[in-house]
Each structure stands twice: as structure tokens, then as C-alpha cells.
Amino acid sequence: MRVFNVARWMVLTLLLLAPAAWGAEGEVVETKSAEQTVLEGAKVGGDETKVAVDEDGEDAPPKEEPVTQEDIKGVRSEIETLRDQWRRTLDKNTAQTKRSLQIGGTVQTRYTYSEDPAINDGFSVNSIILSFQGSLRKDYEEGKNVNYQFSLSTNSDFTIRPLQASLSYSILPSLDLEKPYLTATVGQQKKPISLESLATEEFKPTIRGAQFASALKLDERDIGAVISGDLFPHVDYGYKYRVPLITYSLGVFNGAGPNKADDNNDKDVAGRVVLNAPVDYNDILRGLSLGGSFYIGRKNAEFKNGTNSVTRQGTKNRWGADLSYVNTPIGFTLEYVQGEDAAPNGTVANPALKVVRSEGYTFTLFYNFGEQFVSGFKSQDRYDDWYPLTYQPFIRFDRFDPDVKKAGDRTDIWTIGFNWFFAETTKLQLNYNIKTGETTSKQVNEFLTQFQFGF
């Protein structure tokens, strides 16, 4: 009986719960049908009745319209218009060359005041140099490049002359910093002799060069061929600093000077060897060098007597040694040069030659305030036209004796100067020169100021 009552209550409970469960299931089906109806209506209705619903019941982003042929044609037309505009701008503002070209130049404007009656006071444009250089063949695998360099110059007389006209070839690969370099250069170029004559304008403290450089024509260019290279390089990769233990140059020249054909059948030979301190960039010995130079050649000595003249060939030799320490903040250069030149010592009927020996030396001491010559500052990237400023006071002693056997012709020049580097290619120079002779006690004072800028 008790079992019957339990079974009866279970059947009654199922009958009561069945309608509720059936109704709940029916509502779920109706909700799904409503969602499907909305989506189907949106598809049928087009743009006017679009209502997109994602799986979570939220509005989905509208579908993008397909790109038409007219849209593609419009984009192509705009690209062609920009291309034509870019070409017109390029043709108007850019020099077109078949090979890579780098254009540069240097201008020096000067004011001179001198107590020397042979020198006129006033303003002058001392030098204008326009240079072109580039690569005729670029070797990206080994760095055996063929480069060219051509420059024009003029001095205070504004006569335009070719200054440099050379072609160089890297015989050895030049991409590996740890391997030696070897380069051959032909054409009109600097002679590999003397520290003073080979220094660039950035490292020349004085407005005027050393007396022996101009008197012995060491700073003149000549036409010839030069082999130059280095050995045992030391590399500091942190500063991209490379310094070889030995650098050398050996050249053969006409000996007649720049922009001239050879005036005799002999060729002059010049050479230079420099020993450098193979240290890192931050080492205190960086910039310490010991160099030696020589020049062996022949020159023409002319004997005249009215309309009659006789030419003989004689000696033209140069010997030099130099010691330099170019670092920051302090540095110095010391150089000695000796010359031997044939000079007439007879008549047309009895032409004889003598050898005139000359000598000169310079000593320069400078101090730098600033970061002009510090690699870490010069390589910094800035948004504006920033460049590290540097102030460089210096003192130099320059002596030259054109004939050591002749008394009274020696000239000494003391120079007290100041250089202000205030841009990458621009500096202002102030020089106060004190000239004294060997036999006279009279002092000649000079004041020079020069503004040098480049591009």
C-alpha cells in the first residue's frame, strides 16, 4: 500500500512539471526564430533595413563596399600626378650625373694689417676652392673602388686654375678595417712630403702656412703617380677609429709644378713614412706620430747674358722630419725641413752650378676648449643644425733661412692666435704675427683675421 502511494505521487509530480518544461522549450525556439527572421529581413531589405548582430547579440561592424574600376583609375591618376610633380622638382633642383657626385667648396675672406711696407692693408678673398669628387666604379664585395677628384681654385687675383685632377684605385680590398690598404693615384695631386703641406684646413691653426712650405714649394701640387698605403692597422670599433702602425707613400712627378708640362727629361721622386701610436681612441697616446719625408729631383738653372742664355740641370732635394701629438685638449707639432737647390755660379761662356742649402722649422702648441675634434660628439644626431663648438688658442714659432751660408737673410715669426670653430665647416681665425730678422732689431707687427667657410 505504501509503495502504491509513492508511485502515485511521482506520476502526479511529472504531470505537473511537464507543461512548464514544454513552455520553456517553446520560448527558446521562438527566440531563435526571431533572430533568424531579423537577419533574413536585413539581407532582403538591403541598405535600408541592415541590422547586423554578432554571436554575442551585439551590433557587428558594417560590411565594406567593394572597390570599383573607377576607384582604381582615380588612384592611378593621383599617383601619376605626384610622379610628374616629383620629376619636375628633381629636374629643377638636382644636378643630374651618370655617376655619383659630391660637390664641395671652401672660401677664405681675410683682412690684413701689416707694418711691412711691401704688404698692403685691406680686405681680400684669399682663396676660393670648388671641388667635385665621386666614384667611377663601386665595388661592394671587396671595396676596390675607382674614385675621381677634380677641383678649381682662385686666389686674390681671381684667376681660375685647376687645383686637383686625379684618379685613384684601391688595389687591396678596403672594406675590412683590420686589413692594410693600398691605393694608386695618378694625376695632379699633393706631393707626399712634409706634415705642414699635407695637413687639411681643419688642422691648420695659422692663417699663413710655414715659411719653408711656400719657399721650397712643398705645398704645391704636381703631376705624377703615387702609391700609398698602410700596415698593421689597429681598430677601435667603439669609436670607429682606425690607426695603422705604419703609413707610407711613394710618388714619381714631373717636378715642374701644377698645370705645367715637364720642363726636362728627368723625373722627381718623393716619399714619406709615418709611425703612429696603435692605441684606442680614448688612449692618452692617440694622435702621436713620427714622420720622415724626402724629395729627390732635378731643376733647370738658366744663365743669361743679354739675348744669350744657357740652361743646365742641377740638384733639387728636400729632407724633413716631424713629430706631432694631435689630441684633445692639448697638442703640438714640430717639423724640420732642409732644402738643396742648384743655382747659377758662372757665366754663359762658363756655366757652373753651386748648391744652396736652406732650412726651416716650426713648433706649434695649441689647446682646445670644446668638442670639435671629439668623435663621440661630432657623430651625434640632432634635429637642428647643431655642431660642437670649440675654441683653440695657440702659439707658433716659425724660422726659415733661405741660405745657411749667407748671413742676414733669416726670418723668425712668432704667431699668437685664436681659432673659433662654430659650425661643421666654418671657423674664425685671429693671428698676431711678430716678425724679426737675423741682423736687424726692428720688429714688424702684423694682424690678420680670416673667416673660412665651406659647403
| Greater model confidence, 98 or 23 | 98
Average pLDDT of span 34-39: 44
CA distances (Å), origin 356, targets 314, 403, 412 = 11, 6, 20
> 389-436 pLDDT, tens per residue?
889 999 999 999 999 999 889 999 999 999 998 877 789 999 999 999
**Which stretch of 5-9, 124-128, 177-181, 330-334 has the lowest confidence by average pLDDT?**
5-9
- Residue 213 scores a pLDDT above 50: yes
Tell me: pLDDT of 370 over 90: no
In the predicted model, what is the mean pLDDT of residues 103-114?
Answer: 94
Is the predicted pLDDT of residue 22 greater than 50, yes or no?
A: no
Lowest mean pLDDT among 52-66, 206-220, 305-319: 52-66
DSSP conformation letters of 20-57? HHHHHHHHHHHHHHHHHHHHHHHHHHGGGG---B-TTS
CB distance 145 to 167 below 8 Å: no
Report the chain's C-alpha Rg in angstroms.
41
pLDDT of residue 25: 42
Q: What is the pLDDT of residue 41?
A: 44
Confidence of residue 381 (pLDDT cuts 50, 70, 90): low
Rounded distance, CA 263 to CA 251, Å?
Answer: 18
C-alpha span between 319 and 360 (Å, rounded): 11
How does residue 147 score in pLDDT terms, banded at 50, 70 and 90? very high
228 grid coordinates: 700609398
Task: Please check the confidence at residue 451 and state whether its pLDDT lies above 80.
Answer: yes
Give the model's pLDDT for residue 79: 92
Amino acid found at 124? S
Listed residue (206, 155, 198, 166) closest to 433, CA to CA? 206
| Whole-Å CA distances, 40 to 54, 187, 367 | 14, 86, 88
Residues 310-314 have a mean pLDDT of 87
Query: What integer is the mean pLDDT of 42-65?
Result: 54
Residue 259 has pLDDT above 70, yes or no: yes
Cross-strand partners of 209: none
Residue 446: pLDDT above 70? yes
pLDDT at 352 over 80: yes
Q: Work out the percent of the chain whose per-residue pLDDT is above 90.
A: 56
Q: Does 293 score more than 50 pLDDT?
A: yes
**Alpha helices per DSSP H over 278-423:** 375-378
Average pLDDT, rounded, for the chain: 84
CA distances from 307 to 63, 235, 348 (A): 104, 63, 11
Chain-centroid distance of CA 425 in Å reads 10
Residue 185 has pLDDT above 90, yes or no: yes
Kindly state the average pLDDT of the residues 314-333: 94
Q: pTM above the 0.85 mark?
A: no
pLDDT tier for residue 63 given thresholds of 50, 70 and 90? low
Q: Is the pLDDT of residue 16 over 70?
A: no
Torsion of CA 168, 174, 177, 178, to 10 degrees: -110
Q: Using an 8 Å Cβ cutoff, are 227 and 184 in contact?
A: yes
Question: Of 186-190, 351-355, 441-445, which has the strongest mean pLDDT?
Answer: 186-190
CA distance 398 to 406: 19
